[in-house]
Amino acid sequence: MSQNGGSGTSPAAYRPGGASAYIILVLLCLTYAFDYTDRMIVASLIPFIKQEWGLSDTLLGSLTGVVSLFIAVFVLPFSLMVDRWSRKKAIGIMAVLWSFGAAACAFTRNFTQLFVMRSLVGVGEAAYTSGGHAMIAAYFPEEKRATMNGLFTAAIPMGTAIGVILGGVIAETLGWRYAFGILAVPGLIVAILFFWVKDYKTVQIVRTTGDGAQAVRVKMRLADIVREFLHTPSVLFTYLGYVGNTFVTTGLMNWLPSYYHRVDGLPMDKAGLKTSIVFLLAIFGAPIGGYITDKIRKKFLNARMIVPAITSFLTALFLFIGFSFLEGNAQYLFMICFGFTAPMFAAGGSAVTQDVMHPGLRAISYSLAQFFMMLLGYSLSPIFIGFISDRYNLLTAFKFLPLFAVVGGVAFLIGSFFYVRDLNKVEKVRLEE
């Protein structure tokens, strides 16, 4: 691998961008969408499973939480495989695995079986996102990184909407088991296509020691890698920002259909549709947030942390007003606003995890964001909401969510003071096909 400052230019070196980069982006977005279809389909199936098996809200919340828990358990070792082996092969294999797990849910006959199959979905999804962000960081220039990450992130609400809308419709017409089986197929098809995309060679994890003629490049040891992260506060505060925001969005993605079902008396297909409109706005919010971030960054380098801070505070405000003072259509209007601002943090945040770390650690860098948000956000939030709901009601549970958005905003704001310093210390490398 040719590094900056090395001798000569490899003929295999490539420039970021081009048609192949956009093909990869499209496949990444499609796979990400079907990832969330399989991950979030339980949200529209909760009433059907509850009716058949008589489960508590806490246990029902665990069906989503366990996916996130297993992602948290396996994300670091699997992301190491992504960085050190092959991004496209790892992504393809994992997508096949989670699609199989989702399809197997259709054949379960009790809670234990379903819990185990949802766990398998979590294993398969453990490092897809980190691999995707690593490929985007490599195939697109730095000035477009937040915009492209925003487009990638927009696949989350798209997949969530597919799962929530079609899951409820299929469950109402054919039964909830058919919903699992049918919606697992598209992800499997796209996963297979990934084995034919272009990929870049594995980046060596090396650092420069000494100055001038005495400078040498040495392989980074585990202690060096740990020190790299601990001495990069902007990325550490980004991880905390992710935890706060994903706790909010996950709680609502999983329980908002049930809220409209219980409070408004809507059948689940209509409750799912009402919820999906909220999260479909994220399809626009995520890339717009990324575009705004990249534009502001031309004047303020730390925009990739300032913009997420501002949008996190706006999200907290919309939720606080909506669930504390409003109901009916007025409340729903504020949920629409929430749907637009909630995903805006992700484009800048994910770009930060790639900007301030060694290119050979990009998948691992984002995997740590996944680890913390899956362990403390995705896995705990549905269970937390279910726990409060069992003791009070869903509305009371939702009133806690603005606090977590504020935590996320404060974390991004503090991290912004360290971003420029952390960015300037990163060594540049030349990638090869």
pLDDT digits (tens, 9 = 90+) for 201-253: 666 666 656 555 555 556 777 787 788 888 999 999 999 999 999 999 989 98
Which 3 state secondary structure label does DSSP give 267? coil
CB 140 within 8 A of CB 21: yes
- Can you tell me the distance from the alpha carbon of 203 to that of 210, in angstroms, rounded to the nearest whole number? 21
pLDDT of residue 12: 47
Q: Which residue, among 306, 342, 404, 430, has the nearest Cα to 150 in the 3D structure?
A: 342
Q: Which of 196-200, 267-271, 405-409 has the lowest mean pLDDT?
A: 196-200
Residue 173 in 3-state DSSP?
helix
Residue 217 exposed, middle or buried by CB count within 10 Å (0-12, 13-18, 19+): middle
**pLDDT of 248:** 95
Helix axes 222-230, 233-263, angle to 10 degrees: 70
pLDDT score of 103 more than 70: yes
**Per-residue DSSP letter, 143:** G
Give the pLDDT confidence score for residue 178 in this predicted structure: 93
- Give the 3-state secondary structure of 36-69: HHHHHCHHHHHHHHHHHHCCCHHHHHHHHHHHHH
Given this model, what pLDDT does residue 128 score? 76
**What b/e readout covers 163-190, taking b as 16+ CB neighbours within 10 angstroms?**
bbbbbbbbbbeeebbebbbebbebbbeb
- Give the mean model confidence (pLDDT) for residues 39-60: 86
Confidence of residue 200 (pLDDT cuts 50, 70, 90): low
Q: Which residues pair with 206 in a beta bridge?
A: 219
Tell me the domains of the chain and their CATH numbers: 19-206+214-424 (1.20.1250.20)
Between 377 and 335, whose confidence is greater? 335
Chain-centroid distance of CA 317 in Å reads 23
Point out which residues pair with 208 in neighbouring strands: 217
pLDDT in tens, 132-176: 888 888 788 888 888 888 888 888 888 887 887 888 889 989 999
Residues in CB range of 326: below 8 A, 6 or more apart: 334
Neighbours of 41 (CB within 10 A): 28
What is residue 204's predicted lDDT score, i.e. its pLDDT? 65
